[in-house]
Structure 1
Amino acid sequence: MDFPSDTPAKSEQKSCKQACDNCRRRKIKCSRELPCDKCSRLLLSCSYSDVLRRKGPKFRTLYPLAPIHPLISRPRDTLHYGPRQHILDKDFLPEAGSYPIGASPTSPPFSVVDAQFNSQDFLDSFTRLAPPELVSSPDSTNSTSDSGTGQCSPFSRCLSSPVLLAHVNVYFKYLFPIMPVVRKDEIQADCHQLERLSSRRYAFLASLCAATHIQLKFDGAMDPSAFHTEGQYMMSGEELLAEAVRARKECDPVDEVSIESLLTSFFLFACYGNLDKQEQAWFYLCQATSMIFTLGLHREVTYSEFGPEEAEEKRRVFWLLFITERGYALQQSKPVMLRNSIHKPQVLRSDDPILTYGFISLINIFEKLTPNLYDWISAGGGDGFFEMPPISSIQSSLSKPMSLDGVVEIQRVDILVTQQWLQAMIWKLSMAHASQPGSREDAVLPFHLPLLVGKAVMDVISAASQGSVDAHGIGMEQKLFEIGMAVADVTRSLGSKASHHLAESPVDPRELLWGLLSTLSRIRGSPSYLFPTLLNRSKTILGLDCSIDMSNFLPLITAPPSGPTPSWRDQSQSRWDLLTTADPEPEESDRVSVPVSVSVPASVSHIPSLLAFHDTHLVRAAR
């Protein structure tokens, strides 16, 4: 029998009479095993090395008048929090033996709440900040902050290991497929040994956490008391960003340019971009792009100096900046510096070939946008200094179908929506400059192109989980908004005859606008800041009362526009279902209910017969 051998093992595990070092400092219940249950759950190093001493003062001690920890010293009501809407899944917290990357298209979205998750463990592991002596660097063990200002003293570390690990796990589940530029094992190991990290490495980790928190909009709509116990609370996204910026100031990025410094600037760009602070975002993006040239990553010969694995990692960094710069510069009418001057990452050499294939597919889309297009846009597009780029050929290349079989859902949504959004942006340039002197005849794109683009986008959104849409942050909101504005502009410019044709066609602009508004009304768990603008532009098209605004429009989402019941609406569904489940397979409730059910067209250049109008009003509007 095995009982005699099991008994000593159990007695040996519970032989400790004191709580482990971590649980004793955090003042929480400890199972007194090795490792204990709390340390196992949080992946902390469990030890019993502290020597307990008799309690009570042994000499005169001067106690401060305010709490030492800078983030706890501020009253909660003095902080500015937006409406909370997301709660961290237990998959995001450090669990023993598993870090889900979200490589499956059926990964549950980050807004899931697990009914079996212990809220007290969540508060213990994530919302409570560790004491300063546990998270300070060796040089600042005895340093304190100015209690009057609440600012951290030099070299202090305000983020604890559980906080870093929670955000890192979220990053690898939802953001790594679209930002595959970090090594999972190294980052997770660094989160366990903050005291050994350099200032540069800590700034990098803090910026990654801030970007993850802000892009996924974790400061959402939930009961603040769930994160508020005994005056301690979870840091907001802007507090994480402030900590990242402060940590960045402790090291000079120009003194020793590295991949860490480059990615720190990139993640700070992502933070400010998602906060709609475009000047700061452009500054950090330019900073990261400049480091590309400083490190020589724009030259192919540079990669011969590295091993195969390191070379592939640096290639992904270059191409991520290439994609980001071209997408952001198109929105902000800025020039671009990076060119497609190096080889792309190799699919077969990658640890995840499917993810790499999706990444390369996104690169191929932005390669179709020529540098002279950006020069022409940034110069104003009409001063005659730069020649107008071949708009028609660019749009034609963007409309070619792509094979994305097996690509993870988060990447697939990004690729397909970006492909259609770029066509909408090219169409706007075509319409804006078609009447200028010297413009070529082939520069005028089909006037109804945004309707086909909008339909393709809504087909993608309707087949995707809410989490796969929300993971792309404010960029997805802006793309859907631009497409919606283009659809509204086309519809408002149509005559009555053309509008009648559209109403009877498979592409009804009212259904497209209703679907885009519905998506923006709940993207990332709350109405988008762009939602009111698109609503005002669409009121007359949808036949809504002029007094309707965002506050009284949202209840109307349960009802489609007046007219026949569209084919996309489920008769048994009484509302727009926004719920999500924690099951691996996506249920119906995990889908975004939007007004399109027809498959994505192979190319928007193939115009349906019902849309091939010969209406004089259309011709005049197009010219």
Structure 2
Amino acid sequence: MKRACDRCINRKVRCDGSLPCVRCSSRPGLSCTYLTPTRKRGPKFSRLRHLRVPFQDRPTQCTEKDERSRLVECHDVRTSTLQIKEHDSRIPLVVLETIIEAYETRMFPVWPVIGSESLLQQLRKPGDCIDAYVVATALSAATMAQLHLPPMRYQSQMFASEDIERECRRVRATSEYREQPDLRGVLTSFFLHVYHAKVDNQNSALLYIQEAIALARLLHLDEDEDERSCENGSCDELANGKIIYLLLWVTERGYAIQYGLPISLHHTVSLSSIKLSTSGTCIQGLINLASLFVTFDSSSIPQFSRYKEFPVSKDQLVGLEKIFANTPAPLKHLSVAQQADFLATKNWMQTLLWQQAMSRGFLSSSSECEFMTFRYPARVARESLMRIRLFSTGDLIPLGRDQLVKLFEVANTLADVLLCNTQLAKHSSGQLGPQDFLHGLYQFISPMLELDGACDSMLRQKTAEVLVRTPTRFWQLESGTMSDNEWMTGTKLLNQ
């Protein structure tokens, strides 16, 4: 009898039962296992005993009183069982406190929308605050997934990110968050989007970000009026509605571009009103990031998928690239995560613009504009490498899979260009070339690619092919003009 593998069971998709199965083998790097014990099918109790009772021995009548007492007894059993289940599934406060403290330390610059101390005070109050508990569990699930935190142990129980996300959905289903929307409901949908985007559930991630946007529209967060949303459930631990709406706007645009999806927020946000009404370093970092997407919007390019054709001229692309090239580096007083996010997003957008120019046949090897040549991806990769080498891989972990996809796009585009045009890899001795930039980018993001087997396998294979095809600089050195010490020195330099 066929059975499904562990991964297909968790994702609730059909499995062909082979080893490895078709779904796991289509994604290199994933292990196909059958460790989950097989559950017994059918009812949990036997009906044979009841069926074997002779007809004449069965009760012929059931009075209304007996039926009522039986129903009350059944209701009491179900209620007590439900209460035990809810009690067992509730996430302990100490677990939520640990994760929320990690959010405050590492994730707040990326999502500056919830004050952890105020949220914890709500959770510590006597009585159940369902809304605070739901948004806290959604925030905890997203934080654990984003930071790759291991399961939390409390007494004899283990709580992983998927357990907390499941508990969030269970409790949220008992509330009227759609009929009575508030800012907590908006953020709960946003954090559920982050969680599902991190675990690569694209359909669920898309539905949750659209749900967050729909709730924000019901609160009129998309209108340029005073913060009307604060009347609908204002909370001390939450940022104002404009900041929350800006975060949704940036998140949807980035997700739509990466996966070729349509957008629902077609109009451009007004950053001037947000700058006047807000302050704080983390808020400024979010505004700087949003300004890159506003620049894209000003060109009328994003209707908003790179996989769809839209009317754009060569001069528009050149002008837009100049704006990005002249964009100053982020301020140093911003957090490391915000600086890395801004720089990676800028280089990623420059790469997307070049892809648009190439797909429309605008490129020429004799063009005086470097943006319109095949050398441009190497320039973007060099700039990206020079910037990100100031950060560690751990600095990019809070940015999640989005930043990995952006840096992968920069490196993968350069790899494709070098494989199609090997002449670009030729350079004089002692100089770094495009293949060195590709190799450096791959080495930087390879630790993060371990969780994405398909991307890792693709970029590893392309990088290896580029390095094999590229002439080595060793044979370009003139041995007759160098001493043994100089040869050894040169060899050490090449090995660095």
Q: TM-score, normalised by structure 2?
A: 0.70
> How has the CA–CA distance of structure 1 residues 228 and 376 changed in structure 2, closer, same or farther, with 3 Å as cutoff?
closer
1:398 to 305, 324, 329: 324
Shift, 1:341, TM fit: 4.0
Q: Give the drift of 1:435.
A: 7.0
Report if aligned partners of 2:134, 2:172 keep a CA contact under 8 Å in 1. yes
Distance 1:155 1:293, change over 3 A: farther
1:441-485 Cα shifts (integer Å, max 9, x gaps) = 999733222111111221222111332111111112111111111
State the alpha-carbon separation in 2 of the partners of residues 276 and 421 from structure 1: 20
Change (3 A) 1:527 1:268: closer
1:364 aligns with 2:364: no
**Amino acid of the residue matched to residue 292 of structure 2?**
I
Query: Does the C-alpha gap of structure 1 residues 489 and 378 become closer, same or farther in structure 2, counting only changes over 3 Å?
Result: closer
1:207 Cα offset (Å): 0.7
SS at match of 2:326: coil
Please list, as runs of the form range in 1=range in 2, the aligned pairs for 1:163-242 lying within 5 A after superposition.
163-193=95-125, 195-198=127-130, 200-219=131-150, 232-242=156-166
Following superposition, the deviation at residue 345 of structure 1 comes to 6.5
Contact 2:321 2:353 in 1 (8 A): yes
The 1:564–1:173 alpha-carbon spacing in structure 2 relative to 1, beyond 3 Å, is: farther
The change in CA–CA distance for 1:164 and 1:518 in structure 2 (over 3 A counts) is same
1:407 aligns with: 334
Amino acid at match of 2:116: K
1:103-123, Cα deviation, whole Å (9 max, x unpaired): xxxxxxxxxxxxxxxxxxxxx
Partners of 2:166 and 2:294 lie apart in 1 by 35
Q: SS of the counterpart of 1:234?
A: strand
Q: Deviations over 1:562-610 (max 9, x none)?
A: 6469xxxxx9xxxxxxxxxxxxxxxxxxxxxxx99xxxxxxxxxxxxxx
The 1:192/1:183 distance shift into structure 2, 3 A limit, reads same
Verify the 8 A CA contact 2:393 2:444 in the aligned structure 1.
no
- Do the aligned residues in 1 keep the contact of 2:146 with 2:400 (CA within 8 Å)? yes
Deviation at 1:278, TM superposition (A): 0.9
Q: Give the secondary-structure state (helix, strand or coil) at the position aligned to 2:442.
A: helix
Q: CA deviation at 1:491?
A: 1.1
Match of residue 340, structure 1, among 236, 244, 268: 268
How much does 1:365 deviate? 0.9
Residues 413 and 564 (structure 1), Cα distance of their counterparts in 2 relative to 1, 3 Å cut: farther
CA distance in 2, matches of 1:516, 1:376: 27
Give 1:387's aligned residue: 311
Report the residue type matching 1:192 in the other structure.
R
How far apart in 1 are the matches of 2:386 and 2:402? 19
Does 2:210 align with 1:278? no
Of the candidates 387, 403, 421, which is equivalent to residue 476 of structure 1?
Answer: 403
- Separation (CA, whole Å) in 2 of partners of 1:333 and 1:527: 19
Aligned equivalents of 1:194, 1:539: Cα separation in 2:
60
Residue equivalent to 1:445: 372
Give how far 1:309 is off.
10
Distance 1:185 1:446 in 2: 52
What is the number of residues matched between the two proteins?
396
Whole-angstrom CA distance in 2 between matches of 1:204 and 1:562: 56
Give secondary structure in 2 for the equivalent of 1:471: helix
CA gap 1:504/1:143 in 2 versus in 1, 3 angstroms: farther
TM-superposed deviation, 1:190: 2.5
| 1:303 corresponds to which of 227, 230, 235 | 227
Q: Cα deviation per residue 1:116-174 (whole Å; 9 max; x = unaligned)?
A: xxxxxxxxxxxxxxxxxxxxxxxxxx84459xxxxx84587520111101110111111
Distance 1:461 1:442 in 2: 26
Q: 3-state DSSP class of the match of 2:240?
A: helix
Q: Pick the aligned partner of 1:532 from 453, 457, 466.
A: 457
Aligned residue identity for 1:510: Q
What one-letter code is carried by the residue in structure 1 that aligns with 2:179?
D
Q: Supply the distance in 2 between the matched residues of 1:543 and 1:205 (Cα, whole angstroms).
A: 51
In structure 1, give the amino acid aligned to 2:434: P
Q: Counting helix residues as a fraction of each chain, which structure ranks higher?
A: 2
Instruction: Give CA-to-partner distance per residue, 1:268-325, whole Å, 9 cap, x none.
Output: 1101111111111111111111222211111111426859998962111011111111
Instruction: Give the 3 Å change call, closer, same or farther, for CA 288–505 of structure 1 in structure 2.
Output: farther
Q: Distance in 2 between matches of 1:541 and 1:333?
A: 28
Distance 2:118 2:153 in 1: 32
Cα distance between partner residues in 2 of 1:309 and 1:342? 24
Within 5 A, what are the aligned runs for 1:23-62?
A: none
Q: How does 1:105-184 map to 2 (within 5 A)?
A: 143-144=80-81, 153=85, 158-184=90-116
Instruction: Please list every run of 5 or more consecutive structure 2 residues that lacks an aligned counterpart in the other structure.
Output: 1-5, 12-78, 476-487, 489-494
CA distance in 1, matches of 2:94, 2:183: 25
Q: Which has the higher contact order (CA 8 A, sep 6+)?
A: 1
Residues 37-65 of structure 1: per-residue CA shift (max 9 Å, x gap) = xxxxxxxxxxxxxxxxxxxxxxxxxxxxx
Letter matched to residue 531 of structure 1: D
1:340-376 Cα shifts (integer Å, max 9, x gaps): 344457568656x322222221111110112742226
Q: 1-side partners of 2:474 and 2:370: how far apart?
A: 37
> RMSD of aligned C-alpha atoms?
4.0
- Label 1:505 to 1:278 Cα distance change in 2 as closer, same or farther (>3 A): farther
Q: For residues 284 and 173 of structure 1, do their structure 2 counterparts lie closer, same or farther at Cα, with a shift above 3 Å needed?
A: same
- Say which is worse superposed, 512-521 or 371-380, in terms of deviation: 371-380
Amino acid aligned to 2:353? I
Residue 537 to residue 284, structure 1, CA distance change in 2 (3 Å): same
Q: Is the 8 A contact 1:206 1:240 kept in 2?
A: yes
CA contact (8 A) 1:334 1:374 kept: no
Matched, 1:264 2:264: no
Distance 1:259 1:238, change over 3 A: same
* Cα shift at 1:256: 0.8
Cα distance in 2, alignment partners of residues 401 and 379 from structure 1 = 26
Whether the 8 Å CA contact 2:438–2:463 is kept in 1: the answer is: yes
Within the alignment, does 1:520 sit opposite 2:452 as a pair? no
Residue number in structure 1 paired with 2:415: 488
Q: CA distance change for structure 1 residues 215 and 168 in 2, over 3 Å: closer, same or farther?
A: same
Q: Give the letter aligned to residue 214 of structure 1.
A: A
**1:510: how far off?**
2.0
SS at match of 2:426: helix
Q: Is the 8 A contact 1:181 1:316 kept in 2?
A: yes
| Cα distance in 1 for residues equivalent to 2:348 and 2:306 | 19
Q: Is the 8 A contact 1:215 1:274 kept in 2?
A: yes
Give the % identical residues. 21
1:509 to 434, 449, 453: 434
TM-score of the superposed pair, with normalisation by structure 1: 0.56
Aligned match of 2:247: 320
Residues 168 and 209 in structure 1, CA contact (< 8 A), matched pair in contact too: yes
